[in-house]
């Protein structure tokens, strides 16, 4: 014992013959070890060998061969998606190269995300996945000129910069097998810059980093969207795994611990409110959602468990607690023409000590939930959860099928079925009585080129192997292309309830980085970016 204590630069017990003092010394030794050495060692283990360890999880369906006719159809559809991507990419390249976004109607550009060429960086992995090597090489050459230590804006949105830029760089590095060191070098440069926003008293990063103001640009705020602090874990964990810099994972772990400790003490235990006061942090808001403001916080929980290869149960336990409450309160069966057996995630308002009040507001942003629950079903080995995931994904597909354009609205309301009694649908009080929309009110009729619905459709196909998901996805793709294509690229549309909706002059980076990527992977061979090997 004394020899061990000397190695730790501690004095041995002054009375070695005393049994009591020996016990005290042993207790001190164990306390020091457990408090200081074990957690650090454990955290290092969590990120060690992150680029080479085989996954312990099997996510995808065991696909077999396909018929010649099925292969021909699939490959034709895949090429249609590839051509759509290439066309929009060339529009960006011609009119907005090295800017964040192209304006697809006017042929101009916008720079809402620090002016570091968001569309270029965010779309790098899609270029590689689709085999567009010449365009990928051109983008890499342009990437050399981007200095991620110096933004082209005074204020940097930490969350958006992390998911679009850091995620884009790391995603491209991984899908290309690490063949392009420049990608990791730029990711680390950006990570070092963004990590300055974590230098706050409680370790929760400022949602917006005024990088030229020093510490004054790092003040905590009230009313911060919980997704802004809870959706950084995947990118910074992966950066820690690839660089070996534990500080990135330590920074994320502090946020996770705050969320973990608060989870069962919110106004709806198991769930986090949509806004948080980061100065505490305080999670006492009464509004809860799985859509905008909170979405990716939940999405990242099972994905982080996968990324860490199950080396810690923290994220999985947090996900399970959240899912239990979501199933109990968020998910509802809607009244629809034909009485479909589908589910939607609604929004909640906490009230008193009673049952949370459900608002049957459905958001396109929340369509990721089907895919999330599907991945979680694999982690939990739960056929019951997979059935829920299928119904949630079917709900978003239904919303695409039941508008004049064939595209789901951004936000709408729909009646929920009562817990007991009839769930028969009538058109009374609904949008356009007599027309089988089924919606009671459409709050935001736009389509913003979002990926969430097709992401879940893609995941359902890879989980179940059922080709019906490819058919559903193809119908979605055709409707989207019909209404969003412009002479330059693709544009968001303002009202999906019209047969000929008006286009708006906007194309966000996720159109190329996510939406078209998921369409392409839906029609690819199942081993291309296998969910057994990659976390998307």
DSSP output for 68-92 = HHHHHHHHHHHHHHHHHHHHHHHHH
What angle (nearest 5°) sits at the alpha carbon of residue 229, between those of residues 224 and 230? 125
- Reported as half-sphere exposure (CB side, CA atoms, 13 A), residue 513 has a value of 25
Residue 266: DSSP 8-state = S
**Which among 233, 232, 212 is positioned nearest to 152, based on CA atoms?**
212
Q: Could you tell me how far CA 203 lies from the centroid of its own chain?
A: 22
In 111-221, which ranges are E strands?
Answer: 155-157, 208-210
Strand partners, 495: none
Tokens at 304, concatenated: 């982080």
In 98-175, which ranges are E strands?
Answer: 101-103, 108-110, 155-157
- The conformational region for residue 465 under phi > 0 = left, psi -120 to 50 = alpha, else beta, is left
Enumerate the active-site residues. Answer: 160, 295, 410, 452
| 396 close to 291: Cβ distance less than 8 angstroms | no
Q: Give the span between the Cα atoms of 314 and 431, in whole angstroms.
A: 44
Question: Element (H or E) spanning 261, and its range?
Answer: helix 246-262
Tokens at 402, concatenated: 């039941």
| 55 close to 532: Cβ distance less than 8 angstroms | yes
């Amino acid at each position: 014992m004394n020899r061990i204590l000397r190695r730790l630069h501690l004095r041995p017990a002054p009375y070695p013959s005393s049994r009591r003092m020996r016990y005290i010394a042993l207790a001190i030794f164990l306390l020091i070890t457990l408090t200081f050495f074990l957690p650090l060692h454990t955290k290092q283990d969590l990120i060690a060998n992150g680029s080479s360890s085989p996954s312990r999880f099997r996510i995808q369906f065991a696909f077999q061969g396909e018929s010649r006719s099925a292969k021909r159809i699939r490959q034709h559809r895949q090429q249609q998606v590839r051509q759509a991507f290439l066309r929009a990419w060339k529009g960006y390249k011609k009119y907005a190269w090295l800017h964040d976004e192209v304006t697809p109607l006017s042929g101009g550009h916008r720079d809402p995300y620090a002016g570091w060429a968001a569309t270029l960086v965010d779309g790098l992995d899609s270029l590689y996945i689709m085999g567009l090597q010449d365009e990928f090489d051109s983008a890499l050459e342009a990437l050399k000129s981007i200095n991620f230590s110096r933004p082209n804006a005074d204020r940097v949105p930490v969350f958006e910069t992390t998911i679009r830029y850091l995620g884009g760089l790391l995603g491209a590095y991984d899908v290309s097998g690490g063949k392009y060191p420049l990608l990791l070098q730029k990711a680390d440069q950006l990570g070092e810059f963004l990590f300055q926003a974590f230098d706050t008293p409680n370790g929760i990063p400022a949602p917006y980093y005024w990088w030229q103001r020093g510490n004054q640009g790092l003040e905590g705020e009230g009313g911060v969207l919980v997704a802004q602090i809870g959706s950084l874990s995947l990118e910074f964990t992966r950066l820690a795994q690839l660089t070996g810099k534990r500080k990135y994972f330590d920074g994320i772990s502090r946020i996770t611990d705050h969320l973990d400790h608060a989870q069962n003490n919110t106004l709806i235990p198991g769930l986090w409110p949509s806004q948080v006061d980061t100065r505490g942090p305080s999670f006492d808001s009464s509004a809860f959602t799985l859509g905008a403001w909170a979405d990716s916080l939940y999405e990242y929980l099972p994905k982080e468990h996968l990324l860490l290869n199950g080396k810690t149960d923290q994220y999985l336990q947090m996900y399970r607690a959240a899912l239990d409450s979501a199933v109990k309160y968020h998910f509802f069966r809607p009244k629809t023409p034909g009485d479909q057996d589908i589910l939607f995630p609604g929004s909640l308002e906490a009230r008193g000590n009673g049952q949370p009040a459900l608002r049957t507001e459905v958001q396109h942003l929340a369509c990721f939930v089907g895919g999330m629950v599907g991945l979680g079903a694999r982690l939990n080995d739960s056929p019951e959860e997979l059935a829920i995931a299928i119904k949630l994904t079917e709900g978003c597909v239904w919303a695409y099928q039941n508008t004049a354009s064939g595209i789901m609205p951004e936000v709408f309301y729909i009646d929920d079925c009562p817990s007991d009694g009839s769930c028969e649908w009538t058109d009374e009080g609904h949008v356009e009585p007599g027309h089988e929309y089924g919606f009671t009110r459409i709050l935001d009729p736009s389509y913003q080129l979002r990926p969430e619905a097709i992401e879940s459709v893609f995941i359902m196909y890879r989980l179940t192997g059922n080709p019906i998901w490819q058919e559903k996805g193809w119908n979605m793709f055709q409707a989207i292309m019909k209404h969003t294509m412009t002479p330059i690229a693709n544009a968001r549309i303002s009202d999906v309830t019209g047969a000929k909706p008006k286009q708006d002059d906007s194309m966000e980076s996720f159109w190329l980085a996510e939406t078209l990527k998921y369409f392409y992977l839906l029609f690819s061979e199942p081993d291309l970016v296998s969910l057994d090997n990659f976390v998307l």
